[in-house]
Structure 1
Amino acid sequence: MKKVKDLMTEGCVTVTPKDNVYKIAVLMAEHDIGFVPVVEDQDHTKLIGVVTDRDLVRRGIAMKKPGSTAVTEVMTEQPITVSPEELADEATDIMAHYQVRRLPVVDQGKLVGVVTLGDMALKNTSNASHALHDISKHEQLDTHYLQ
């Protein structure tokens, strides 16, 4: 069985609490990503939160916050994480349960990578389609609520 460490992306783009919403948006555009981990500082990779493209829209733009708004005002604190030693199928179960497409990979409190549902699907883990189904079902309900 594959482990998360076999599928994760290492060396991911990060920001610190000193950064702002504009910087996150620029990084997301430059790197074609929708998820940025927030670490204590660039020298120490202690994970303190994450920002998704959805966070930027719901907690930033929709709340009319300017680009100079601090990362900490839009980030999700205490995100669900996974260990690099976790089995890939268990990670997809976590994604399905918590309705997330991306998980920070943390080892002894330090960010070591990110694993995505896409990573799981590309590597043919058995639970990836189940997780995607559960997450998509939730998003359909959420979209219906907004109409």
Structure 2
Amino acid sequence: MTPGVVAVRPDASLVEAARLMRSQDIGDVVVADGQEVVGVLTDRDITIRAVADGIDPSTVSARSVCTPDPVTVAPGDPVTQAAALMRAHAVRRLPVVEDGLPVGMVSLGDLAADRDPGSALADISRATPDPEPGADPRDLL
């Protein structure tokens, strides 16, 4: 699991969510209404469900394009259960929820790193992200 959760309110615009994803270097956020997880919003959701249809992302809420009522796991659930849920529901990420509060996220990359640390997916998941466009590559050294 990747500890910590980045969340947005259901009424947050897709622009707000995308900027948060960029600043945190992540591809998904939990959509939470108070202490309740109501959805998961991915960069792909924003692209496919809004931008590709010509919808202005500054006028669309996270709730309207997120995957609602996501399947979740608890911190103590076995890795095999997370893998089975991902397979059964065809999802790449699962929020980790404890006492109703999101505490982390499990991704396919997390599973690969745990179950097959030498796999290409595990290597990619552990890799340092690409620099921002225009960034000086020497700053990464």
| TM-score of Structure 1 vs Structure 2, range by shorter chain | 0.7 to 0.9
**1:77 and 2:94 correspond:** no
4+ residue segments displaced more than 6 Å: none
Q: CA RMSD in A?
A: 2.1
Query: In structure 2, how many angstroms separate the alpha carbons of the residues matched to 1:55 and 1:18?
Result: 16
Residue 33 of structure 1: aligned partner? 26
Report the secondary structure of 1:120's partner residue: helix
Among 19, 24, 27, the residue aligned to 2:12: 19
Query: In structure 1, how many angstroms separate the alpha carbons of the residues matched to 2:76 and 2:43?
Result: 28
Report the secondary structure of 2:49's partner residue: helix
Residue 123 of structure 1: aligned partner? 114
Aligned residues: 118
Question: Structure 1 unaligned runs (5+)?
Answer: 1-7, 130-147
Which amino acid in the other structure matches residue 20 of structure 1?
S
Which amino acid in the other structure matches residue 62 of structure 1?
A
Report the secondary structure of 1:62's partner residue: helix
Higher relative contact order (CA closer than 8 Å, sequence separation 6+): 1
Query: In structure 2, how many angstroms separate the alpha carbons of the residues matched to 1:78 and 1:9?
Result: 20
Report the secondary structure of 1:123's partner residue: helix
Which amino acid in the other structure matches residue 101 of structure 2?
K
Change in Cα spacing, 1:125 to 1:83, as seen in structure 2 (3 Å) is farther
Question: Structure 2 unaligned runs (5+)?
Answer: 121-141
Query: In structure 2, how many angstroms separate the alpha carbons of the residues matched to 1:65 and 1:105?
Result: 31
Which amino acid in the other structure matches residue 16 of structure 1?
R
Query: In structure 2, how many angstroms separate the alpha carbons of the residues matched to 1:11 and 1:120?
Result: 17
Contact 1:38 1:49 in 2 (8 A): yes
Query: In structure 1, how many angstroms separate the alpha carbons of the residues matched to 2:52 and 2:89?
Result: 23
TM-score (ref. length: structure 2): 0.75
Contact 1:37 1:104 in 2 (8 A): yes
Report the secondary structure of 1:86's partner residue: coil
